[in-house]
């Protein structure tokens, strides 16, 4: 089974209670399969880590980052969460409660106010029939609008989770 097979199978299952919404990067599984010894900074997994994000995004799936196994190293956990976020991951695998708050803080969308202002401004520009426009000193086109929509959607998802727990 390839990564492409896994991504393409999203939602295709005989079990009505299971819906494939994301993929998780198991870095220790990966290191074991390629015979690599994980090292500080884990450069040996950079290629696979980024490839998983690219596949997840191509198939509209969530990309969940590797587990942080150093339970008491909360600063390291935060650094790894931030690195995962910069790479495009939308969440972190958690094995200890002390890491949950850190992951939630890091992965919660930070630019929700900007995204809401942008989408409001876009409504005004729609009537003008323009493909791109200026917003707060920056050119905005479809990829930027899509990013704003994604930020708002992710924030709403987090808020729904908070209400259900």
Catalytic residues: 141
Dig out the tokens for 164 from the structure. Answer: 């259900």
Structure tokens at 96: 């200890």
* CA distance linking residue 60 with residue 118, whole number of Å: 23
DSSP calls for 73-114: -HHHHHHHHHHHHHHT--EE--SSHHHHHHHHHHHS-S-HHH
- Report whether 133 contacts 125 (CB < 8 A): yes
Beta bridge partners of 128: none
């Amino acid at each position: 089974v390839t990564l492409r097979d896994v991504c393409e199978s999203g939602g295709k299952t005989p079990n009505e209670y299971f819906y494939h919404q994301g993929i998780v990067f198991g870095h220790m599984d990966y290191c074991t399969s390629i015979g690599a010894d994980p090292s500080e900074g884990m450069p040996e997994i950079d290629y696979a880590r980024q490839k998983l994000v690219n596949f997840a995004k191509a198939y509209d799936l969530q990309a969940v980052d590797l587990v942080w196994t150093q339970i008491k190293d909360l600063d390291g956990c935060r650094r790894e969460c931030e690195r995962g976020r910069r790479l495009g991951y939308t969440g972190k695998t958690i094995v200890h409660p002390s890491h949950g708050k850190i992951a939630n803080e890091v992965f919660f969308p930070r630019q929700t106010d900007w995204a809401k202002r942008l989408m409001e401004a876009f409504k005004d520009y729609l009537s003008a029939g323009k493909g791109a426009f200026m917003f707060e000193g920056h050119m905005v086109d479809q990829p930027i609008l899509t990013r704003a929509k994604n930020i708002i959607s992710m924030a709403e998802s987090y808020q729904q989770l908070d209400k259900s727990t």
